[in-house]
């Protein structure tokens, strides 16, 4: 499954809202089967970049390719079978159950009038199991805790069963335990099925722990991209965040750990 067909590639992207150019001539590779985190201060265009990768916005210039296909000229449903996006802070419909929510992730695989298939049921069941909500599948979303709710949303995109998965700040509003839980289950999907993962993330240390590659955006465009060791340097943190920090090896994993001065 880890074929080059699932690599995402941004080429010469320029994106702006009205007068303001948010992303200027950015080119980036998101290798297939790897986990890439997009980091950077508020307003540097992290979410904008992710939205362009998912075709939620059309750039002024440049393209995004998935494998060999330009995503902006792909059929909507064909794209939805290959690439899933979980936007930030989604709000569930009133009273809906976990299972009903997750089932909606199967939409791109279903014909207009086709019935619910075995494959659909299996995908939903697998997704629920991966996020550990099998027992709560018939509970209304509004009754779940914040961490469980976020896992339900992730189950929805897991049920979509795409080889490429984009997540916009999936850990915001969660406490540390739940942040780790959520990132672990994403990494599990990545390790088991070779899914390409691109995530916008706030926490630098968690990003370094869980992700293979980091992309650091600063106020004036991209600062660095590469392995956590290459990206999280004191110099890059200064350029990207204007933050004076020490970078030490994480005592448990050995990945870089940022300690603000």
Residues that bind another protein (CB under 8 A): 51, 54-56, 76-77, 79-81, 83-87, 90-97, 100-101, 104-105, 107-108, 110, 112, 134, 137-138, 140, 156-157, 160, 166
Closest by alpha carbon to 161, among 124, 117, 199, 198? 124
- Give the nearest distance from C-beta 12 to another protein in angstroms: 23
Q: In this complex, which beta carbon is closest to another protein, that of residue 166 or of residue 222?
A: 166
- Give the nearest distance from C-beta 166 to another protein in angstroms: 8
Dihedral through CA 69, CA 74, CA 79, CA 80, nearest 10?
170
Q: In this complex, which beta carbon is closest to another protein, that of residue 89 or of residue 246?
A: 89
Q: How many CA atoms lie within 13 A of 107 on its CB side?
A: 13
- Give the nearest distance from C-beta 76 to another protein in angstroms: 5
Q: In this complex, which beta carbon is closest to another protein, that of residue 91 or of residue 261?
A: 91
- Burial of 77-96, coded b for 16+ CB within 10 Å and e otherwise, reads eebbebbbbbbeeeebeeee
Q: In this complex, which beta carbon is closest to another protein, that of residue 79 or of residue 232?
A: 79
Q: What is the DSSP string of 182-237?
A: HHHHHHHHHHHH--EEEEE-S-HHHHHHH-SEEEEEETTEEEEEESHHHHS-HHHH
Q: What angle do CA 148, 94, 179 make, to 5 degrees?
A: 20
- Give the nearest distance from C-beta 86 to another protein in angstroms: 7
- Give the nearest distance from C-beta 161 to another protein in angstroms: 12
Q: In this complex, which beta carbon is closest to another protein, that of residue 144 or of residue 180?
A: 144
Phi, psi for 221 (deg, rounded to 5): 100, -165
Phi, psi for 228 (deg, rounded to 5): -50, -40
- Give the nearest distance from C-beta 162 to another protein in angstroms: 9
Closest by alpha carbon to 216, among 235, 197, 244? 235
Q: In this complex, which beta carbon is closest to another protein, that of residue 121 or of residue 248?
A: 121
């Amino acid at each position: 499954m880890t074929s080059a067909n699932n690599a995402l590639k941004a080429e010469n992207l320029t994106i702006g809202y009205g007068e303001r150019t948010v992303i200027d001539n950015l080119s980036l590779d998101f290798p297939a089967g790897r986990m890439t985190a997009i980091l950077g201060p508020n307003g540097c265009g992290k979410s904008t970049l992710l939205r362009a990768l998912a075709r939620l916005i059309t750039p002024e210039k440049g393209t995004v390719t998935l494998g060999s296909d330009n995503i902006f000229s792909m059929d909507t449903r064909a794209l939805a079978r290959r690439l899933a996006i979980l936007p930030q802070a989604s709000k569930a419909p009133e009273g809906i159950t976990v299972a009903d929510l997750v089932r909606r992730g199967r939409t791109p695989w279903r014909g207009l009038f086709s019935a619910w298939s075995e494959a659909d049921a299996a995908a939903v069941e697998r997704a629920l199991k991966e996020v550990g909500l099998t027992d709560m599948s018939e509970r209304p979303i509004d009754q779940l805790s914040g961490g469980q709710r976020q896992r339900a949303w992730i189950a929805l995109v897991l049920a979509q069963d795409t080889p490429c998965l984009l997540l916009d700040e999936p850990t915001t509003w969660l406490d540390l335990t739940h942040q780790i839980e959520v990132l672990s289950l994403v990494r599990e999907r990545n390790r088991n099925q070779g899914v390409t993962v691109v995530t916008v993330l706030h926490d630098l240390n968690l990003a370094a722990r869980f992700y293979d590659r980091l992309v650091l955006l600063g106020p004036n465009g991209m600062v660095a991209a590469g392995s956590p060791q290459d990206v999280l340097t004191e110099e890059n943190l200064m350029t990207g965040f204007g933050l004076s920090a020490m970078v030490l090896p994480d005592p448990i994993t050995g990945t870089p750990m940022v300690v603000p001065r």
